[in-house]
Structures are given as structure tokens and as C-alpha cells.
Structure 1
Amino acid sequence: MKKILLVDTNCSSKPIYDYLVRSGNEVFVCGGNPNDFLAKYAKNYVELDYSNIDRSLALVDSLGVDYIVPGCNDLSYKICTELNSQGKFYGLDRNEVSEIINNKKKFRLLAAEIGLPVPRIIPHGEFSDILPVIVKPTDAYSGRGVTIVRESDRDKLQTAIEYAESFSRTKTCVIEEYIEGQLYSHSAFLSGGKIVCEFIVEEHGTANPFVVDTSRVVYDFPEDVIGRIGDTMLTMAKHLQLVDGLIHTQFIKQGSSFWLIEVTRRCPGDLYSQLIEFSTGFRYAEAYTEPFLNQTVSLKDVHLKQSYVMRHTISQQVAKTFSSLQFNLPIQIEDLLFLSLSGDMVKSSPFGRIALLFARANSESELSKLFRSTLQRELYNIY
């Protein structure tokens, strides 16, 4: 029996944890919040702020860990690459490669070097010439610290910079051209220098324009665009010598053009893995986890289907005490995971969430109707 350490306790990592347990190995999870889902759910929980690399290394040594698995946030993946500085573990890129991918400024510089399509970085001196611009922390996530500046106003730009830097671990930010268009994600699995499986998901933010809370798998996405996105990912993978495994990309599409917004190698949050599995039957969490266990991404017995499922994070535009939900339309609930209890003070998105909802429809038109009511925030009322 091998010992495995899952570096995350968020509920989004539950499918990963469940697969690890089914593999018959001894599984430990670590995280600093004993009230997190996996901290209460897992058999072997270690309360530890894993951002403290020395303490994390000590835990790995004391447990005699054979495999480490990152969870569903960028910090988890970053820490795992640092824990792997000696190359002892599997499925992890070199730490310097991880830093390039997860730091927005470094990723934009890489994109310019090898010709990847990304929004232009705007130097402060050119701010007035290119509007609107979007200001982001270089190393934050979930839409935190993001502002769009649409006017040639230096004071507004400075306020946006200070706001972004307040959410950055390194107190840095990036100013870039703001691209209008539809946001999607491309989730693909690399094996032997090829993409062996890929999915396109349409994404929207209803409570907060910078935070994805509503999504669905797209089955009729233009094949030529998928091909070009895949080629772009393979170009980056070859240049950075990425190891086999997941490569997850958010991009904005406008007509037949697209721009990469963010690339990660960790499992996306808010149970994205379940959206793929409910919609297509593909065991996403398993495929994500296999490279960390020194296994090839398995496509054995894969028979993809097309089901009509929506994922929605129920959250609020303003902070208030949560009492109850009232649905305004009849829906088929595939799964509903509550993250807050009645009586809890729930912060506004992205800092607070009430529940993760998966709703199933019988047809594409029925899903479109459900999707539309959700985007208009008419599906339910929050009390």
C-alpha cells in the first residue's frame, strides 16, 4: 500500500480524493482550515498551512509519502512543484515552469516570445492610447482584485493598480488590453506529446463579471478553432517541456479569433470535473490524478456521451445573511452541494458561495432555456 498526500481540502477536490481512496492506497489530505469539506470528510486529515514549504516538506518526510497530488487551486500546484524540487514525485512540472504558467506577467512575456495569442500588455505610458484596459494581480485567482478601466483617467488607473496589488502575494499587477467576446475553457489531456482528449466549456459570470459561476459543455464548437487552440497548447507544451497530464486554458473567442487569458495545470475548481463527467461520462478527476501516480492518462473503456447539464455556483452580488433558496422554475437537480448554512453571513462573490448546483435537461433547447434564466438571475431567489 502506497501513501498519497492530497494538498488541498476544498470540496472541489472530493472527486480526486474519492478516486485515490478507491485505488486502495492510504490517503492523507492537508490544509490550514479544519472546517473545509475534506478536512471533515477525509479519514486522514492533517491541519497544516501548506504554503509553509518547510513544514510541508517535514510532513512529506514524516509520513513517508510516495505520491503527492495537487488539488484545485494554483497555490496547491505551486507548493507541490516546490516539494518536488528533487524530482522524486511524478506528474509535476519544474517549479520554474509552473511559475511562468501561473504568473500572469511571466506568461504574457512567454506568449510574446513564442507567438501565443494573448491580450497586449499595456505599459503605463501608453494607457491613454489603448482603452479599455483590464488590471489584474499577477498571481491571484477567482477574479480577485480585477478592474476594467474604460476612461483615460490616471487616478482611476492608479486606484485599480493599488486594488490589484492588494490581492497579489508579490504586490504586483499587469495592465492589458481588454478583449470583448465570449469566455470559454479548453480542458485537454497531454500524453506522449499529443492531446488525447479535450473539452470545450462555455463560461459566464452572473454575480460577478470576473468570476465564472455558470457553465456548460459545448458540443458544436468550431473544429478549426479547437484545432488551432490545441496546436497553441502543444507549442507551449513543447517549449516548456511540460509533463503529461491536464492543461486547462481559459480563452476569449471573438468570431474565429481567440485570445488566451489563463493557463493552469491543476484541476479547475467548483467541481468542474463533475460537469465534464455528468455531461460526457468522461472520468475527468481520474484522468487528472493518474499522472501523479506515475500512470498514463487512461482512455480505456471511454465511450463519450452527450448529456445536457449546467453547472452553477449559487452566490450573491452583495454580502448578506443567507436564509433559504426559492426556485422559480422546475428543474432536474443532478447534484446540489451546500457550502453555507441558513443563518450564515455569506460574503459577495468571489469571497462567498452558497451552493454548487448541477441541473440536467432533456434536450439542448431545454438546457438553453434553463441556462438563459440562470444568466438573467431568474432561476431562484436568495433569502
Structure 2
Amino acid sequence: MKRALLVGSSFSAAPIFFLLKKRGLHVSVCGRLETDPCHQYADASFYIDYSDREALLRLVESEKFDFVIPTCNDYSYMSCAWFAERLGYPGFDNYNVALIIHTKNEFRRITQQYNVPAPRASCQKTNQPINVSGMKYPLLVKPIDSFSGRGVTKVLDTSELENAIDAARQASRSGEIVLEEFVDGALHSHSAFIHNREIVVDFFVDEFCTVYPYQVNCSNHPSQLTIAIQSAVRTTIARLVKQLDLQDGLLHTQFIANSEQYWVIECMRRCPGDLYGNLIERSTGVSYMDFFVRPFLSEIISPDVRLITQKPIGRHTISVQNPMPAYTFSHTIPAVNVHITPLKSSGERLKAAPFDKLAILFAEYADETTMLEVTPHLAELVSLESLEEIYLDN
């Protein structure tokens, strides 16, 4: 029996875990939290912090796994890419390319070099004087190495810049930041699966940030993007795939678009989290997660595009602006079917977004018109109750 190491143990990694088990593999799981879901099913568990790439390297060298599969955060992918190059594991770009894609300042340098439509940006190292010369407010101040919108601030003028920079540096392990001109439009994502430097199948999703400004909590497929914008984004990403000489696998991109133009915000080679793949699978019938896993097992991505469907599906990650001990919740979503994946125990304290989430739900709508009308307002259609509200207010 061949042995695989899954680098990640959270609920977002569970679909990947079970795909590996279906292939008859012995699956070990790496992740420091013993209570995480994948540890409950693993053939073997290693409770280490996989962001410590030296510790992960020692584990892989001692256990001699046949395959190593990253999961749904940058630390997992980057630690794997770092040792995969020297140990010969399939599915990963060389480390320098991985670093370009997953580090905001390096990625901005590449978008400028290759004329990729993107917001104008300025990268600032620790203790370097801040330079916003020639940039137009408002600006977004971001850590170069954070995710889920952590440490991101929109500043309207110079008076707000210092506090935003401090917040970004506190959220960054490196202390480095990037400043971008704010662009106005709707947020979308593009998942492209690559084989032999060509996009063989891709998906566009509409995304919304309605609780925390820079963390997606609502999304839907299919997208309302025009065919023209989809085609333009696809062409740009296909060109970037060739310019960076990317290996087979997923290239996931977030971008902002209006009716006439678009700006690439960031790309990633890891799997997006919060069960994003389930949204695509419920809408299209395509096994998104299977496509993601294949290159790490030396398998070919070969979708049958004739079988792709287009059910209108919305996804909502339930979160709150203020911390609370969430006891229960209900919804009034006008949907044919709503599937709920709980992530917290009843009465467990829920931290404020972007640091926590209560559950993820998927809504199947009767038609696309309902989907487009309802999805941006899913947070308004979910009601949370605390223990106090139930037992003290009655």
C-alpha cells in the first residue's frame, strides 16, 4: 500500500483526505491540533506545526512517503514546495515560482513585469521609509504574507496611513507590506486547472465580503460575469501560466472587474478554503477536489467538459462582527435546498471575523435570477442566537 502525507488537518482538508482514502492509500495527517477532523480518520497522525518547514522536512525524510499533498492555506503549500523540489515530489512548482505566486510583493513585481492588469502597487520592506509618490488615494495597505483579509486596511488619505501600516506589519510574519491603489468593482474568482501549460477546464465565481470587508463570506456559481470579461481573464491567466512555466494543477485567482475592465488581485496554487470546491461540485457535477489532488499523485487532469452542468448554487460562511457564544441559528433563505456544515459546538464562543466561522451553508436556488438576487444578502437571512438571548430574554 502506498503512503501519502496530507499536510493539513482542518475541515477544509477533509474532502482531500477522503479522496486519498478512496484511492486505497495509507493516509497520514500532519497538523498541530489533535481535535481537527482529519486526525479522527487518519491512518497515522503527526501533531506538528507544518509552517515549520524544517520540522516537516524531517518528518518526510524519516517516513519516506510516496506522495505529499498540501491543503488549503499558504503555509501548507509553501512548506511542501520548499522540500518537494529537493526530494522530487510531484505536483509542485519550483520554490522560487511558488514564492512569487504566494507572496504579495513578489506577485506585484511579476504583474508589472508581464503587463498583467492589476492595481498599481508599492512594496515596502521593514524599516524602509514609506513611499506613496505618484499613487492615488484611497489605498489598500496589506501584509505581504497574510490571508483571509487579515491586517488589510483601506486608507483615504495620508493621516490614516501610519496606523494602517502598523496593523499590516503586526499581521505579517515578515513585517513587510504592500500598498495598492484601491480599484472599484465586483470581486470574483477564477479556478483554472492546467495540463501541459494549457487551461483544460476553468470556473468563474462571484464573491462578496459582507461581514468583514476583505474576507469572502458569500459566493455563487455560475457567475454573472460577461463572456467578454471571462475570456479576457482566461487569456491573461493562460499567458501567465506559460510565462511562469507552471506545473500541472490548480491556479486560483481573485480579481476585481466592472463592465469594461478587470484587475488581478492575487493568485494561489493551493486549494481555496471554506469548502470552495464543494460550491463548484454542487453546481457543475465536476469533482473539483479530485482535479486538485491528481498532480500530487502523478495523475493527469482530463475532465470531460461535456458533462458539466450549471445548477445555481450559493455558498455562505457564517461569521460575526462581534464575538459571541453562539448557541443556535436559523435562516430564511428562499432556496430549493440548504445544506449546512457546522463548525462549532452549540454554546462555543465565536470570535469576530476574519478569525472564526460558525458554519458553512450551500443553497440550491430554483433559478439563476434568485441566486444573483439572494447570494449577496445571505448574511442578512441567517439569524444567530446566544444562550443569553434564549434563556434571559424570555
Same-fold call, TM > 0.5? yes
Report the residue type matching 2:381 in the other structure.
E
- Cα deviations by residue, 1:42-76 (Å, 9 ceiling, x for unpaired): 34222111122222122112222011111011110
Partner residue, 2:261:
257
CA distance in 2 between partners of 1:333 and 1:44 (Å): 37
CA distance in 2 between partners of 1:372 and 1:145 (Å): 24
SS in 1 for 2:307: coil
Partner residue, 1:137:
143
Report the residue type matching 1:378 in the other structure.
L
- Cα deviations by residue, 1:178-204 (Å, 9 ceiling, x for unpaired): 111100000010111211101000000
Partner residue, 1:282:
286
Report the residue type matching 2:267 in the other structure.
V
Question: In structure 2, do the counterparts of structure 1 residues 175 and 372 end up closer, same or farther at CA, with 3 Å as the change threshold?
Answer: closer
CA distance in 1 between partners of 2:221 and 2:334 (Å): 21
SS in 2 for 1:38: helix
Partner residue, 1:157:
161
Identity %: 35
| Cα deviation, residue 374, structure 1 | 1.2
CA distance in 1 between partners of 2:376 and 2:88 (Å): 48
Question: In structure 2, do the counterparts of structure 1 residues 5 and 129 end up closer, same or farther at CA, with 3 Å as the change threshold?
Answer: closer
**Aligned partner of 1:341 among 341, 345, 350:** 345
SS in 1 for 2:216: coil
CA contact (8 A) 2:222 2:313 kept: no
1:197 aligns with 2:220: no
Task: List runs of 5+ in structure 2 lacking aligned partners.
Answer: 124-129, 387-394
Report the residue type matching 1:94 in the other structure.
N
CA contact (8 A) 1:90 1:292 kept: yes
CA distance in 1 between partners of 2:110 and 2:100 (Å): 8
CA contact (8 A) 2:222 2:283 kept: no
CA contact (8 A) 2:196 2:248 kept: yes
SS in 1 for 2:184: coil
CA distance in 1 between partners of 2:350 and 2:78 (Å): 29
- Cα deviations by residue, 1:7-28 (Å, 9 ceiling, x for unpaired): 0111111111111100011111
SS in 2 for 1:266: coil
Question: In structure 2, do the counterparts of structure 1 residues 372 and 205 end up closer, same or farther at CA, with 3 Å as the change threshold?
Answer: closer
TM-score (norm 2): 0.92
Report the residue type matching 1:380 in the other structure.
S
CA contact (8 A) 1:128 1:152 kept: no
**Aligned partner of 1:225 among 188, 207, 229:** 229
CA distance in 2 between partners of 1:336 and 1:37 (Å): 16
SS in 2 for 1:126: coil
Q: Find runs of 4+ consecutive structure 1 residues off by over 6 angstroms.
A: none
Count of residue correspondences = 380
TM-score (norm 1): 0.95
Task: List runs of 5+ in structure 1 lacking aligned partners.
Answer: none
Report the residue type matching 2:228 in the other structure.
D
Partner residue, 1:354:
358
- Cα deviations by residue, 1:292-319 (Å, 9 ceiling, x for unpaired): 0001113148611111111100011111
CA distance in 2 between partners of 1:205 and 1:158 (Å): 25
